Structure 1
């Protein structure tokens, strides 16, 4: 099947529409960060940078770190942006832009998210690291795709039964990490946990400024949920979309979280930039070792 111009949208120079990238601009190992400024916080540790491109909130650097080719790209915040970034990165790897046809031989990409997050268990310290073994999406992205075969339907059923949030229009989906990729990164310095991906930062994460949230016990209900002796550990805004789209396209993905807040104890990191920098250096060391 040939993909139409309104489906696979290319710029006049042949680059993919939103990311402004050509197929040769990316590595098969891709670090994603939310903040465009964090791209250079990662690439400053590269030995060389071969590609620097940007459009809107999507900044990309590709280079070499100890002879390993790496790409770091900013996604912006939220799974709406994840939908753009991950579909277009897959297109760069697995669609022939000249013929507009899907390649017969697929390239599997490795995605590593380096992000920030807030814990909802009191025993998770601020400034610690957490790897999401499972992500639960409350924002609905994967319901727009034929995705049941990559989801943890048992976890979804248990969570829906306990929360009873259908009346609020919330239908959780759950997707697990790639264990093989995770095994190259985990250590005693990183805790595993179940991460909830939210559609926003304030009301959708139970925060109250001037407008009260509709679900009053949002974080308490999530924190009290247990599945196979595992608890929900933290909240953020991208991981479930990353895991879902990566698996649907045959890629590997893990999400690393720098815990900057604990919503139960009320703590917020006073060394957030240093904590994120430690996580960046830790991740790069694992990827090139």
Structure 2
């Protein structure tokens, strides 16, 4: 692998994350906001590593004997492409030889993020575990061998129902890792289907000053059904996470703190409290 492809720092660390292989735990929590890293790591018993480069901040430590890394990805599918490739490189590429390891390692990656509900029953301050992500981004279409990881029937049903504009993208659907989904699900969570958008305003149907081509987009998302299943929430990372994880042989699940409901127009009165509660819930589930 040429230096332009596998980019390392002078200290031998992966470029964007600024981490050495020994500094990464096999269980990883991803958050969008770098400020949220400390919201997670404050519950750690120990912190052995801290690193930050641009929006990518990492704390690695232990929680109830479990070694965990919490990493901020920033916002959006493009950043997920960076983070997941570099996480994989840390465990599956020999940096000195610049070769793929003969024995590959699978990581457990759990997202703790914020999201907006799309149906009235997805109440503000609830927790949604994404059983499936629908990607409206184009990241996964740059990669080969995605046929085995995409749910083509689900995606086609979505395209047909929404009369999706092919100039926007080609929607795809990817399921969560079943083992992690089961582990993180309980009576305190809702299993849902999550839309992953490429932006916060226009792509999520928000109108401030710029007009939209399709002002009925969110209504189409809300009315979509596939085998009695419906879309519960929308955000900006989940589907790309699921696609990259499956492509590279890792396990991923997305935990969503619902801080807004787009149908009612409501927003959480204490979003930080909701996020903190989801962090504690997720850490306990991981520790078990």
If the length of structure 1 is used for normalisation, what is the TM-score? 0.98
Question: Are 1:191 and 2:209 counterparts?
Answer: no
| Distance across 2 between alignment mates of 1:195 and 1:138 | 11
1:5 Cα deviation (Å)? Answer: 1.2
**1:285 corresponding residue in structure 2:** 284
**2:106 corresponding residue in structure 1:** 108
| Distance across 1 between alignment mates of 2:2 and 2:37 | 32
1:148 Cα deviation (Å)? Answer: 1.8
Q: Which runs of 5+ in 2 are unaligned?
A: none
Q: Which runs of 4+ in 1 moved over 3 A?
A: none
Contact residue 120 and residue 263 of structure 1 kept, 8 A: yes
**Range that drifts further, 202-211 or 155-164:** 155-164
Which aligned pairs between 1:62-211 and structure 2 lie closer than 5 A? Answer: 62-146=60-144, 147-211=146-210
Contact residue 126 and residue 261 of structure 1 kept, 8 A: yes
| Distance across 1 between alignment mates of 2:281 and 2:155 | 32
**1:263 corresponding residue in structure 2:** 262
| Distance across 2 between alignment mates of 1:148 and 1:271 | 42
Contact residue 134 and residue 193 of structure 2 kept, 8 A: yes
Question: Are 1:276 and 2:275 counterparts?
Answer: yes
Contact residue 140 and residue 173 of structure 1 kept, 8 A: no
**SS of alignment partner, residue 184 of structure 2:** coil
| Distance across 2 between alignment mates of 1:58 and 1:209 | 30
1:212 Cα deviation (Å)? Answer: 1.3
Contact residue 116 and residue 259 of structure 2 kept, 8 A: yes
**1:37 corresponding residue in structure 2:** 35
| Distance across 2 between alignment mates of 1:18 and 1:168 | 31
The total of aligned residue pairs comes to 287
CA-based RMSD of the aligned residues comes to: 0.8
| Distance across 2 between alignment mates of 1:8 and 1:242 | 21
**1:16 corresponding residue in structure 2:** 14
If the length of structure 2 is used for normalisation, what is the TM-score? 0.98
1:213 Cα deviation (Å)? Answer: 1.4
**Range that drifts further, 267-276 or 157-166:** 157-166
**Range that drifts further, 161-170 or 117-126:** 161-170
